[in-house]
Chains A and B, each alone.
Chain A
């Protein structure tokens, strides 16, 4: 009974967001819509990663592998004559299957060991994609002519973003989400009270992998050209981890805030030539600052400020009076 109003709230908020976003093309220029597309892309990546990395506490630095699987599946099938958007479920399914294949051994590892294994896996995938023939090697693949349509892609990406945020809001309060939280806090205790930890971690991994792959497919359709250097890039894996951590790991709002900050910075920095090459400095600096001063990210910072404001208000009110 308690789940019903929550679900209804999430659906209502999602529907409102969808209506707003689908009306936006009538009022906004192409440049602004592009920015929204970038934001939606970032939100999908950050919120999907957060399902495993935040809710279940399994920090993976290898998500570009899933993005790449989605993008390559779409490009290869489109070149074989498929309708590009019909390839999304195929890419998502392949990424989910790959996530299970990786997760079965890797989830036997805990904490940082799992993280290191994910770096190894994503590097191996990148080396493989650049080395074999059918992916076009390091020179990449170009989508077939005529598959580009920004309007459709915009709608698909924003709908996907709204879906992922709604899904993570729903999961957070569900029995599945509580089980993931238990795994994050103390995996031994969670298993002792009957949480099938490995199965749940695999499920969260597969779900987030499928969603990231779908974003990868849309990425391929939007940019029309993919290469191991663009979709399997380590920096991409990095951004995917960074956004939720800066925003507030394990919360619903955190990854969205982190994605908003990241896509804004990305756009701002790309427009200033002098700063174009300092994004690593920025990412690294953000990680250091967040870890040293506010491991709960922007969400934690806002909470702290609200608390401080609440505590400080009486005195300020007096001073004002």
Chain B
């Protein structure tokens, strides 16, 4: 019984971070119909920026979010203006050109990290890294708890921006129907830049938080990128709650596999990759197809 509680608590905590990672991808995908392969590189960069702030200026990793989020937002807007915008827009689905361009960007970021921070494994050790508290009878690490809290805050802020502000309404309008949004006077180019900025800011924030939990190298981020994909494929990107649910399903599956099956922890990543492929195959049209099918079914039922 306590085993089950432990699995649930750990899954919930992991889901917060997973959701933060997945939002970055989902926002960009929704508005721009682009799969941001550079997400992994941005996660990694977030971790290294946090490390530098921590080592040079003794900034607490969670306090550094205050700097990392606006910095990465600006970086994302810049990336959009310099690279992504220049690609020809494809009609409905994401284009191969954007995927490969962002893939190239990821590699450049990786190389940058090798050049600046070397290939050595890094980690951030704070006073509370090894501390843990008891929660519902389960020992959980203090960093995990803080990460969950920070994720929750960032997700709530995003939800408020998306639903309560004109900017958020414009973003959702472009997500739902770009042409109709253009006709009604939404500046889709500007919205795209903002979306890429928000996505990048989320990646940076997730990277900062990952850095408090895991050791990292410039190669870091690939498996988390795949997890984030897995979540948005599972959950669709229509709602914040959907992404959160997808994140929880993935975390639950990973924790359950490592708790109840003899599958060694070194294979844990394979769980999400397998789930990714299964989820992709179950929704062969990708997100829009799955979302459209759900909408149709909902309409038929209502």
Q: A residues touching B (Cβ–Cβ < 8 Å)? A: 57, 59, 61, 105-106, 108-113, 115-117, 119-121, 123-124, 127-128, 130-131, 234, 238, 245, 277-281, 283-288, 291-292, 295
- One digit per residue, 1 when the CB lies within 8 angstroms of any chain A CB and 0 when it does not, for chain B 164-192 equals 00000000000000000000000000000
Chain A residue numbers with a CB within 8 Å of B5 are: none
Chain A residue numbers with a CB within 8 Å of B280 are: 106, 109, 113, 116-117
Q: Is B153 an interface residue (CB 8 A)?
A: no
Chain B: residues with Cβ within 8 Å of the partner, total of: 45
- Closest chain B residue to A120, Cβ basis: B273
Q: What's the Cα separation between A181 and B286 when bound, in Å?
A: 23
Q: A117-B280, A291-B87, A292-B86 are in contact. Are A110 and B286 (CB under 8 A)?
A: yes
Q: A287-B100, A291-B104 are in contact. Are A278 and B267 (CB under 8 A)?
A: no
Query: Which residue in A120, A285, A291 is a CB contact (below 8 Å) of B108?
Result: A285
In the A-B complex, list the 9 residue pairs whose CB atoms are closest, starting with the nearest: A287-B104, A284-B107, A281-B111, A284-B108, A280-B111, A120-B273, A288-B104, A291-B101, A284-B104
Chain B residue numbers with a CB within 8 Å of A295 are: 97
Q: How far is the CB of A49 from chain B (nearest CB, A)?
A: 14
Q: What's the Cα separation between A110 and B229 when bound, in Å?
A: 15
Q: Is B10 an interface residue (CB 8 A)?
A: no
Other than the given A115-B99, A131-B267, A288-B83, 13 more pairs (CB < 8 A) read A59-B99, A111-B95, A112-B35, A112-B93, A113-B286, A116-B276, A123-B223, A127-B269, A131-B266, A278-B115, A281-B107, A283-B104, A291-B97
Task: List residues of B (97-133) whose CB comes within 8 Å of A's CBs.
Answer: 97-101, 103-112, 114-115, 119
- Closest chain B residue to A57, Cβ basis: B96
Query: Which residue in A113, A277, A286 is a CB contact (below 8 Å) of B115?
Result: A277
A selection of 17 A-B contacts at a CB cut-off of 8 Å is A108-B281, A108-B284, A111-B94, A119-B226, A127-B270, A128-B270, A130-B266, A234-B222, A279-B111, A280-B114, A284-B111, A285-B108, A287-B103, A288-B101, A288-B108, A291-B87, A291-B98
A109 contacts B284, C-beta separation under 8 Å: yes
Q: Is B274 an interface residue (CB 8 A)?
A: yes
Chain A residue numbers with a CB within 8 Å of B110 are: 280, 284
Query: Which residue in A105, A112, A280, A286 is a CB contact (below 8 Å) of B96?
Result: A112
Q: How far is the CB of A184 from chain B (nearest CB, A)?
A: 10
Q: How far is the CB of B12 from chain A (nearest CB, A)?
A: 25
A124 contacts B101, C-beta separation under 8 Å: no
Q: What's the Cα separation between A246 and B295 when bound, in Å?
A: 41
Q: How far is the CB of A183 from chain B (nearest CB, A)?
A: 14
Chain A residue numbers with a CB within 8 Å of B229 are: 116, 120
A105 contacts B226, C-beta separation under 8 Å: no
Q: How far is the CB of A104 from chain B (nearest CB, A)?
A: 9
Q: How far is the CB of A100 from chain B (nearest CB, A)?
A: 15
**At the interface, is chain B mostly helix, strand, loop or mixed?**
helix
Query: Which residue in B95, B99, B104, B277 is a CB contact (below 8 Å) of A120?
Result: B277
A128 contacts B277, C-beta separation under 8 Å: no
Chain B residue numbers with a CB within 8 Å of A106 are: 277, 280-281
Q: How far is the CB of B98 from chain A (nearest CB, A)?
A: 8
Task: List residues of B (27-70) whose CB comes within 8 Å of A's CBs.
Answer: 35
B111 contacts A128, C-beta separation under 8 Å: no
Q: How far is the CB of B113 from chain A (nearest CB, A)?
A: 10
B106 contacts A284, C-beta separation under 8 Å: yes
Chain B residue numbers with a CB within 8 Å of A121 are: 273, 277
Q: Is B302 an interface residue (CB 8 A)?
A: no
Chain A residue numbers with a CB within 8 Å of B97 are: 291, 295
A287 contacts B223, C-beta separation under 8 Å: no
Q: Is B264 an interface residue (CB 8 A)?
A: yes
Q: How far is the CB of A124 from chain B (nearest CB, A)?
A: 4
Q: A120-B273, A123-B226, A131-B264 are in contact. Are A112 and B108 (CB under 8 A)?
A: no
Most buried by A among B86, B94, B105, B277: B277
Q: How far is the CB of A262 from chain B (nearest CB, A)?
A: 14
B93 contacts A110, C-beta separation under 8 Å: yes
B99 contacts A112, C-beta separation under 8 Å: yes
Query: Which residue in A120, A128, A279 is a CB contact (below 8 Å) of B267?
Result: A128
Q: What's the Cα separation between A199 and B100 when bound, in Å?
A: 26
Query: Which residue in A57, A131, A280, A292 is a CB contact (below 8 Å) of B87?
Result: A292
Chain A residue numbers with a CB within 8 Å of B223 are: 123
Chain B residue numbers with a CB within 8 Å of A131 are: 264, 266-267
Query: Which residue in B101, B264, B269, B277 is a CB contact (below 8 Å) of A292?
Result: B101
A288 contacts B226, C-beta separation under 8 Å: no
B114 contacts A116, C-beta separation under 8 Å: no
Q: What's the Cα separation between A116 and B229 when bound, in Å?
A: 8
Chain A residue numbers with a CB within 8 Å of B98 are: 291
Q: What's the Cα separation between A113 and B287 when bound, in Å?
A: 10
Q: How far is the CB of B83 from chain A (nearest CB, A)?
A: 7
B105 contacts A284, C-beta separation under 8 Å: yes
